[in-house]
Chain A
Amino acid sequence: MAAETPQRPRPDRNEIPVLEPGHTFGTVTDKISSLVLVQPYNWRWMAGFGIAFAMTMMLLVAITYLFVYGVGVWGVNVPVMWGFAIVNFVWWIGIGHAGTLISAILLLLKQEWRTSINRFAEAMTLFAVACAGLFPLLHLGRPWLFYWLLPYPNTMDLWPQWRSPLIWDVFAVSTYATVSLIFWYVGLIPDLATLRDRASNRWARYAYGIPAMGWRGSARHWHRYRTAYLLLAGLATPLVVSVHTVVSFDFTVGIVPGWHSTIFPPYFVAGAIYSGFAMVATLSIPLRYFYKLQDFITLRHLDNMAKVMLATGLIVCYGYGMEAFTAWYGNNPYEMHQMLRSRPSGPYSHTYWMLIFCNCTVVQLFWFKWFRTNVYAVWIIAGIINIGMWLERYIIVVTSLSADFLPSSWNMYHGTKWDYMTFYGTIGLFLALIFLFIRFLPVISIVEMRELVHEREGHDATTMTAHKGKTP
C-alpha cells in the first residue's frame, strides 16, 4: 500500500478514481452478479456470440481440411517453412501475457487498480493461450504424433531432444497455461460461492456450487485462500517473464539472420505485455460500455493501461532500433542485409513500415493525457497495436526466413485462404470463449471489488489495518 501512505503526495491520482464513489458491498455484488444471474440473453450477446461461434466453425472446417490434406494447404514453403501458424502462436501467447502480469505482478506490487480488470484479463489469457496452443499442434507435418514432444516412457526408449527450444516451449507454455488456469480458478472460488448463494435456479446452484468446492467464507477459508492466492501469484510471476523468453528462444537459438539475436528475450517480453494490454483495452472498452461497467472500469484504468502500453511500446521500438544497430555495428553481411536492406526496402518493406507505424508511431499519442483518457482513442490505438504486434511477428518469422544465407534459395511467402481462415477462426474461438465467460462467470472479481469498496469507503475514516480479517 505504498501508494496510499499519507506522506506521499498524489497530485492528480485521485482525479479519476479506480471505482466511482457511492458503491457499497451490496451494490457491487448486485451489479456484477446480475450480469450472470439476472440479465436475460439479449440480442447483442446472441449476435456477438453467433458471429464468434460461426467463426469457430470456420476454424473447425479449416482444421479438418488441414488434417485431411496436409500442411501444404498453407502458404509455407522452402525457405519459409514457418508461416502464419508460428506468427499466430507468438501473437496469441503475447496477448496471453497481460492476464498473469495484471493478476500476479500487479497484485504483488499492490496496484489496486488492477482489481476490476484482473479477472477479465486472466480469462483472456487462458483463452489466448488456448488459441496459441492450437498452432504448434496444427503446424506439425504429422500432428497425430504431437505427443512425441512430451517426455513419456515408451517402447522406442526415446526422449525428446532437450536441446531444441521447441521442447522448452512445450514446457513453458504448458506450465504457463496450467498455472494461469489454477490462478484464475482459485480467484474464482469465492465468487462462485456468491453466485451459488444468489442463484435462484437449481441447476445454476449446482453448476456454481460444485466448482465453489464448499466455500463458506469462514476465516480459515479466507486464510487459506489468501495464502494460496499469494503463493500462486509468486509462482506465476516468473512465468510472465519466462514464457515469452522461451518463445523468443525459438528464434534466437536458430542461426537465421533476423532471429539470431540476444535482444529477443527482453524485447519479446515487452512486446507480449504491449500486445496483452492492447488486447485488454480492446476488449474491456466495449465490455464496460455494453454492460454499464463504467463505474468499475474507469478512465483511470484506461489511463494506466495506456501508460503501460506506452512504456512497453517504447521498449519494443528500442528493440527494433537495436536490432538494426547491432546488425550494422556487427558488420555481419547476412544480418546487415536482413536488417538494413531486406526489411526496410525489400519485398516485405510495406509490412515492415506498417509495423513501425502501428507499434512505434501511433503509441506516441499516449504521451498526451487526452488520448489516454479518451475511450475511443484508447480503443482505436489499442486495436492498431494489436495489428502492429501481429505484423511484428510476421516480419520476424517470414522476412528473416525468406532471405537468409544463400540468395539462390530466397523465396516469398504468402498466406493462403486456409491460413487466414485458421487465424480468423482462432479469433472467433477466442471471442466465443469470451462471450461464454461474460455470460456465465463474473467478469469482475466481486470479492476484490468489495475489498476495494471497503478500502475506498474506509479510507478517509480508518487506518491501513482496515482490510485485515474482513468477511463478505
Chain B
Amino acid sequence: MIDPMHSNGEPVLVQIGPLPAAPKGPKPKKMWRSLDELAGSEEFFELLQDEFPSQASELTDPASRRTFLKFMGASLGLAGVSGCVVQPAEMIVPYVKQPEELVPGKPLYFASAAPLGGYGVGVLVESHMGRPTKIEGNPAHPASLGGTDAFAQAEVLALYDPDRSQVVLHNGRVSTWDDFLAVITKARAERLAKKGAGLRILTETITSPTLAHQLRQILKTFPEAKWHVFDPVSRDHARAGAVLAFGEDVEPIHHLDKADVVLALDADFLSWGPARLKDARQFTSRRESVDGPGVNRLYVAEACPTITGAMADQRLPVSASRIAEIARAVAHGLGVEGVSPVGSNPDAAWIKAVVDDLKSHQGAALVLVGETQSAEVHALGHAINHTLGNVGKTIEYLPPIEERPGDGEGGTLLDLVEAMDRDEVESLLILGGNPVYAAPADIDFAKRLDKVPLSVHLSLHEDETTVHCHWHIPEAHFLETWGDIRAFDSSATIQQPLIAPLYGGKAAVELLEVVLNGSTKSARGIVTAFWKDSKGKDQSDSDFDTFWRETLRIGLVADTASKVREVTLKGVANLEWPQGGSGGIEILFRPDPTIWDGRFANSGWLQELPKPLTKLSWDNAALLSQRTADRLGVKAMGLHGESDMVSVVYQDRAIQLPAWIMPGHADESVTIHLGYGRLRGGTVGTGSGANAYALRTSVTPWIGVGAKVFNTGESYCLATMQHQQTMLGRNLVRTATVEEFRDHPKFAQEPDEHLSREMTLWENPDPQLRRQQGEGNAWGMTINLNTCIGCNACVVACQAENNIPVVGREQVLAGRNMHWIRIDRYFEGNDTVNPRIYHQPVPCMHCENAPCELVCPVAATTHSAEGLNEMTYNRCVGTRYCGNNCPYKVRRFNFFEYADHKTPSLKLLNNPDVTVRSRGVMEKCTYCVQRINSARIASEMEGRTRVGGNEVETACQGVCPTRAISFGNMNDPEGDVAKLKKSPRNYALLAELNTRPRTTYLAKLTNPNPEMKAE
C-alpha cells in the first residue's frame, strides 16, 4: 500500500473541529497530494486518523474533545495540588476605560510635601502604577527648590515599612475602629457635658492650617479643654529669644545669598531648621561667585563638628556653654547697646577678627544662632543683626508660622504633666510623637500617663507610648492620606495621597473630626472643606475646583507666603547671663544626623546611612575630643571600630555607650545624639545605640554642665564606614583659597599636567573618539566639592532609586555596605584639635579605561558606546576581580541574598525600572542608566541624534540641595557638564592611573580670613 504521508514526504494537516463554512466567492481550487486522496478512498482517511495518537483523533469530535480538555484541566489542577500551595485568586483585568495619563511603564509625579519637625518640604512623588516609589524635590516649592534631604528620601521606605502599626489596639489587644468610635463618642459626650474639662490633646509641632483650625474649633467647643505641644526637637529657644528681643514671636528668614560674612554660633543651619535646603542652596551659591559678588566667608563657633562647621572658612571649636560668652564679646565688639565687656577670653583673637570682618560688611553680614543656645543668645543674635543693619537685607522676620496654643494658655508638656499630677486629665489624645520615649528624663511621663483614665495614641508605629495608652490608632502616612502643611515662609502645600492607606490608618484630622463633631468625615473632605471655607463662601464650586486642581498640580497654595513683619528691637541690656558651670564635663544633646529625634529609627536606609562626620551607622556614640579621651583614658576608633564603653553620668542618671573620637570637638565636652536606644522601635530600630533622652532634662534640653564620663572597661565595635580619616598627603580633595585660585586658576589641574593623554601605545578608547567628534551621547558627571555640604541626601536618593538593599550592622562591620555613592570624609591638619573637614562624594567614575572591565573573565562589565561602564548582572559569576581592581572601590558585591524578596510591602517599594540584584553578583553606580534609557528613547522618538545636555537627571543629582552634582551629555556644548568640564577647577580623581574617569570633580575653594592665617 502506498503510504500517503510518506509518499511525498510532506506532513499531513489535520482539521480540528468542524469545518468552516465554505467561503463565498469562487470555489477554491482542489489540491491533492496523492491519488488516494483524490479518489477519496476510505482507507486514506482512516490512515490519516491513525497516523496520529488516539487522543488527537478525538479532537475532531467536539464532544470528546471536551472530555479531553477536562482531563487536561484536571491533571493540570492536580499538578498544582502536588505543589501544596493554594494560589491566591488574582484578577487580571484590563482597564475598561484607560485612565488619562496612566501609561504602564511610565511613572507619574504628584506634588506633596514631606514633613519634618512640623514644617514641610515640597516634593514630587514618583508613582508607578499606583505605588509611590521615589521622592523628588519640588522646584517650585520655596523650601525645596528641587532638592530634598535624606529624611524625605526615606519617606517611601517609611510608607512601606512592614513594622508600621496595622490595627487598632485596645489595651494591647486587637480592636476595631468602630469599637474605638463607640468609646470616643461616649467620652466626647461626657467631656462636652463638662465643657471639655479633662480633655487634653498633645501634639507635635503643627503648621497644618486644617489641623490648627480644628484644634482651635475644639478649644472653642470644649472651652475647658487644653492643647499641649511637645516636640523633642522644637524651636522653643528661638521663640523665647524672639520674644526677649522683640516682645513677640517672629520667625526669621535668612538671605544667605546676600550675606558676605556669616557667623554661625552653634547654628547648624545647613542641616537643621525648616529652611535648611533653601539656606544651603543660597549659602553655596555664594561659594561659587568668585567673579560676581565674591565668595562669602563663614565663621562657625561650635562644640561638635557639624556639616555647617565642615563648610566653615574659620571654625572655632568651643564648648557650647561658652558660645554665649563669644556672642557677648562679638556684640560688645560691634557696639551693640547695653552689652558689657565679658573680660578675658582665650579666643579673643578669633573674636576680634570676626568683629572686624562683620563691621566691614555691615548690611551684608549675618549672625545665626542655633536652637541649642539659650533664648538670651538668640536675643543677642537679633540685636547684633540689628546693629549691623542686616535686617531687611540678609535677615527678615515673619509672623510665627508654627501653630500653637496662645501664650499663657499653658500649652507645654510641663503644663500637661502638672495637670496629670492634679488628676485633671480625664481623656488624653496623643496625636503623633512618642512622648514616653522622648519626654525629658526628669518627668516620668510614662508613670503619669498610666494614671490617665482614657488615653488615645495615634502614630505610625506601635512604640513606647503605645504600650502606656488605652487605645492605639494606626496613623496614615502622609503619602496615603490628605493633609496640608506650611513651609518656613508659611506657604502651604496640600499633601495628596498616592495610595490608599495600606493598613487602614487614620489621619490626625480624621481623629480630631471625631472629637470635634462626632463625625467620621474623610481626610479629603476635611481638608477640602477647610480650604473651601478659607477661600470664602462666595466662591463658586467650579472656581474652587480650578483652584484645587491647580494647587495640587503645583504643590503650593498660591499667596500663602507670609508678608515680612516689621519688628522693633527692645534692647538687650537686661538680659541675664548665667555664671560659669559647675565644672565637670559639658554634655550636649543633638538630634541625630540620620535618624533625627528617633522617629526614623526603624528606617533601614537611615540607620545604615553613615553619619556625615563620624561615618558611624546603626549606633550613636559619646563623641569626645582626642585630648578629653586621653585624659579620661578612653580609647576609640580602633582598627575595626572597637571602642571603650563609657558611662555618661548626668544629674544622677547614667547611660552606657561606646566612645568615639571626634576630631574638632571641643575639649571637656561630650556629644550624644538623640534617637537611639529604642525599646519598641520596630525590628530595625529596637536595640541599637543608647537612649540619650534618659539623661536629658526639661531644664537643659541641649546643653548640660557637670556630667561625668567613666571608662567602664568594656569594649564595643561600632559599625563605621570609614576607618582611615586622612588623605595621607594624597591629592584627592584639591583645595585652594580664593586668593590662591585667583593667582593660580589651574591649581587643581597642575598636578596632572605632566600626564599626557596622547602618550600611549594604544589607540584612544572608542567612546573617547566619538566624543571628540561630537557625535551621539557621551555621559559625564561633575561633582562640585566647593558646594557639596556632605548632607548624605544623594546616598539615600541613590538607594531609593536603584533598589539598593540594607545589609544591617553586622554586615557593615564586616565591610559590606552596599551604597553606590558614598561620601568620603577626610580630616586635614596637624592635629585633631581643629582639622579642616572635607567631603568627597564618590560614585562610579565610569572610566574610559576602566580597570574593572579588563579583568572580568566573563565580560559581565563592559563599556557602552556612550561611555557607560555597564554591569550585566545576569552574566556576573562573582569573581569579584573587578572590585579588587577598581581603584575607587565603588563596586559593591552581594555577599549574601541582601535583597528582600519576601516582605510583601517592600516589594511595592522597588523601582520597576531597576533590576533587584541577587546573591553573588557585583553591582555599582550605573549613572541611573534607566533614566538615560528613557531619555534616549524619547530623543530617538523625536528623531534627535543626541540627548540634550541637561535632559537626564540622576537620582543623586536630582536630590542635591546645593546642586553640587551635574550630569549629562558631554557632547552637547550647551549642557552644564560640558561647560563645567572646561572649568579650571575640573580635575579627575587618581588621574595618574590613566583611568580617564567620566566623573570629575571641581576643586574646593576656601575663603579664610587673611588676618587669621597665622593659626
The answer to the question of A255 belonging to the interface, with a C-beta cut-off of 8 Å to chain B, is yes
The answer to the question of A164 belonging to the interface, with a C-beta cut-off of 8 Å to chain B, is yes
Q: Which of chain A's residues have a CB closer than 8 A to the CB of B892?
A: 78
Question: When the two chains form their complex, are residues B876 and A142 in contact, meaning their CB atoms are under 8 A apart?
Answer: yes
From B639, B859, B889, B920, give the contact of A70 (CB < 8 A). Answer: B920
Q: Which of chain A's residues have a CB closer than 8 A to the CB of B724?
A: 403, 407-408, 410
Stretch with Cβ within 8 A of A (4 or more), from B105-113, B728-736, B793-801? B728-736
A139 to B884, CA, bound (A): 14
The contact size tier of chain A is 35 or more
A250 to B882, CA, bound (A): 12
Q: Which of chain A's residues have a CB closer than 8 A to the CB of B878?
A: 71, 140-142
Question: When the two chains form their complex, are residues B730 and A333 in contact, meaning their CB atoms are under 8 A apart?
Answer: yes
Question: When the two chains form their complex, are residues A142 and B920 in contact, meaning their CB atoms are under 8 A apart?
Answer: yes
Question: When the two chains form their complex, are residues A77 and B814 in contact, meaning their CB atoms are under 8 A apart?
Answer: yes
The answer to the question of B66 belonging to the interface, with a C-beta cut-off of 8 Å to chain A, is no
The answer to the question of A167 belonging to the interface, with a C-beta cut-off of 8 Å to chain B, is yes
Given known A142-B919, A404-B889, A408-B826, contact A70–B856 (CB-CB < 8 A):
no
Chain A 280-326 interface residues, beta-carbon cutoff 8 Å to B: none
Question: When the two chains form their complex, are residues B887 and A140 in contact, meaning their CB atoms are under 8 A apart?
Answer: no
The answer to the question of A72 belonging to the interface, with a C-beta cut-off of 8 Å to chain B, is yes
Given known A70-B920, A146-B877, A408-B842, contact A254–B889 (CB-CB < 8 A):
no
Question: When the two chains form their complex, are residues B842 and A406 in contact, meaning their CB atoms are under 8 A apart?
Answer: yes
A71 to B, closest residue via Cβ: B895
B876 CB, min distance to chain A CBs, angstroms: 7
A412 to B892, CA, bound (A): 16
The answer to the question of B885 belonging to the interface, with a C-beta cut-off of 8 Å to chain A, is yes
Question: When the two chains form their complex, are residues B854 and A405 in contact, meaning their CB atoms are under 8 A apart?
Answer: no
- The binding surface of chain A is classed by DSSP as loop
A262 to B840, CA, bound (A): 33
Q: Which of chain A's residues have a CB closer than 8 A to the CB of B730?
A: 333, 405-407
A346 to B, closest residue via Cβ: B639
Binary per-residue interface labels of chain A (118-156) against chain B in the complex, 1 for a CB within 8 Å, 0 otherwise: 000000000000000000100111110110110000000
- The binding surface of chain B is classed by DSSP as loop
Question: When the two chains form their complex, are residues B921 and A149 in contact, meaning their CB atoms are under 8 A apart?
Answer: no
Question: When the two chains form their complex, are residues B884 and A158 in contact, meaning their CB atoms are under 8 A apart?
Answer: no
The answer to the question of B749 belonging to the interface, with a C-beta cut-off of 8 Å to chain A, is no
The answer to the question of B816 belonging to the interface, with a C-beta cut-off of 8 Å to chain A, is yes
Chain B 878-907 interface residues, beta-carbon cutoff 8 Å to A: 878-881, 883-885, 887-889, 891-897
The answer to the question of A375 belonging to the interface, with a C-beta cut-off of 8 Å to chain B, is no
A145 to B877, CA, bound (A): 6
Q: Which of chain B's residues have a CB closer than 8 A to the CB of A136?
A: 879
The answer to the question of A69 belonging to the interface, with a C-beta cut-off of 8 Å to chain B, is yes
Question: When the two chains form their complex, are residues A254 and B896 in contact, meaning their CB atoms are under 8 A apart?
Answer: no
Question: When the two chains form their complex, are residues A333 and B876 in contact, meaning their CB atoms are under 8 A apart?
Answer: no
Chain B 852-871 interface residues, beta-carbon cutoff 8 Å to A: 854-859
A408 to B733, CA, bound (A): 12
Given known A141-B880, A404-B889, A407-B726, contact A70–B854 (CB-CB < 8 A):
no
B813 to A, closest residue via Cβ: A77
Question: When the two chains form their complex, are residues A408 and B858 in contact, meaning their CB atoms are under 8 A apart?
Answer: no
Find the residue from A146, A255, A256 having the highest chain B CB count within 10 A.
A255
Given known A160-B858, A164-B855, A166-B855, contact A81–B887 (CB-CB < 8 A):
no
Question: When the two chains form their complex, are residues A77 and B816 in contact, meaning their CB atoms are under 8 A apart?
Answer: yes
The answer to the question of A165 belonging to the interface, with a C-beta cut-off of 8 Å to chain B, is yes
A148 to B, closest residue via Cβ: B858
The answer to the question of A337 belonging to the interface, with a C-beta cut-off of 8 Å to chain B, is yes
A240 to B856, CA, bound (A): 26
The answer to the question of A27 belonging to the interface, with a C-beta cut-off of 8 Å to chain B, is no
Question: When the two chains form their complex, are residues B889 and A71 in contact, meaning their CB atoms are under 8 A apart?
Answer: no
Q: Which of chain A's residues have a CB closer than 8 A to the CB of B729?
A: 333
Given known A72-B895, A406-B842, contact A412–B854 (CB-CB < 8 A):
no
The answer to the question of B722 belonging to the interface, with a C-beta cut-off of 8 Å to chain A, is yes
Question: When the two chains form their complex, are residues B893 and A161 in contact, meaning their CB atoms are under 8 A apart?
Answer: no
The answer to the question of B514 belonging to the interface, with a C-beta cut-off of 8 Å to chain A, is no
Q: Which of chain A's residues have a CB closer than 8 A to the CB of B895?
A: 70-72, 76-77, 141
The answer to the question of A75 belonging to the interface, with a C-beta cut-off of 8 Å to chain B, is yes
The answer to the question of A401 belonging to the interface, with a C-beta cut-off of 8 Å to chain B, is yes
From A70, A79, A401, give the contact of B896 (CB < 8 A). Answer: A70
From B727, B822, B888, give the contact of A407 (CB < 8 A). Answer: B727
B880 to A, closest residue via Cβ: A81
Chain B 800-816 interface residues, beta-carbon cutoff 8 Å to A: 811, 814-816
Q: Which of chain A's residues have a CB closer than 8 A to the CB of B817?
A: 78
A254 to B882, CA, bound (A): 9
The answer to the question of B990 belonging to the interface, with a C-beta cut-off of 8 Å to chain A, is yes
A63 CB, min distance to chain B CBs, angstroms: 15
The answer to the question of B627 belonging to the interface, with a C-beta cut-off of 8 Å to chain A, is no
A-B CB proximity, top 8 nearest:
A141-B878, A141-B920, A72-B895, A77-B815, A408-B824, A409-B889, A81-B880, A166-B857
13 A–B pairs (Cβ distance < 8 Å), ordered by A: A78-B815, A140-B878, A141-B876, A164-B855, A164-B857, A250-B881, A254-B851, A254-B855, A255-B887, A256-B887, A333-B729, A405-B730, A412-B723
- B residues neighboring A (CB under 8 Å): 639-640, 722-724, 726-730, 732, 811, 814-817, 822, 824-826, 840, 842, 851, 854-859, 875-881, 883-885, 887-889, 891-897, 919-922, 989-990, 993
